[in-house]
Structure 1
């Protein structure tokens, strides 16, 4: 039995996702003027989280498929490149306005996770101190 239930574990995985997304967005912004660079993004967050919360049955038919039954699968996020578009004359497809918007959204998401985690630990601290 986990002391905190799944809350701390889920918050940890969400923080891992937000950190990876922040790194990916930062790389896109840093390479906005690099010829031939293709923007990257962290994939499957919404679908994966929705399915994991609702519970579903999976069957691995290939070793390269994600094993949803293991804890490591829930922590592995994929980074994919969008190679189908080009916004600049040099083959680069980074839309700096979109990246800045995504960065701001991700920072708000990350801060919300940190606040929730702090709230959990604050509640624990109150219990340990006997309600004082």
Structure 2
């Protein structure tokens, strides 16, 4: 029997993704003036695809297709098809700041949700008083 639902595990994975995204954005911002620096990105679509590949389904018939159980790590990739600055750098500071703000909102929403889950658990442990 699991102590916690899959929700907490999913929120934890979301926080890991958001944390890596934040580190990647910070690295891009820090290197905005570095000649020939290529901006990095954490691709949500790739992350979503990775998470979907981890879905498990109950097979009630041997003819049903099995789901893959492979675990993939979040990956950081260099952005492709971007415009380069005069020094060969591909960091767009406006884009980075926008992504940073979006990621911060995402992270805060996840933290608020996981806090709600833990507060519910605390309430149950106290006996609902």
Please give the range of the TM-score, normalised by the shorter of the 2 chains.
0.7 to 0.9
SS of the residue corresponding to residue 119 of structure 1 reads helix
Query: 1:129, CA displacement in angstroms?
Result: 1.1
Q: Output aligned runs, 1:26-65, within 5 Å.
A: 26-43=26-43, 44-50=46-52, 52=54, 57-58=67-68
Q: What does residue 12 of structure 1 align with? A: 12
- Provide the residue aligned with 2:125 in structure 1: 128
Note the C-alpha offset of 1:119: 0.2
Query: Residues 88-111 of structure 1: CA distance to partner in whole angstroms, max 9, x if unpaired?
Result: 100001010000000000000001
Distance 1:102 1:111 in 2: 14
Runs of 4+ in structure 1 over 6 Å off: none
The alignment's TM-score, normalised by the length of structure 2, stands at 0.82
Considering only CA atoms, is the larger Rg found in Structure 1 or Structure 2? 2
Instruction: Kindly tell me the number of residue pairs found equivalent between the two proteins.
Output: 119
2:93 to 49, 72, 96: 96
Unaligned runs of 5+ in 1: 59-68
Unaligned 5+ runs, structure 2: 58-65
Over aligned residue pairs, what C-alpha RMSD do you find? 2.0
TM-score between both structures, scaled by the size of structure 1: 0.80
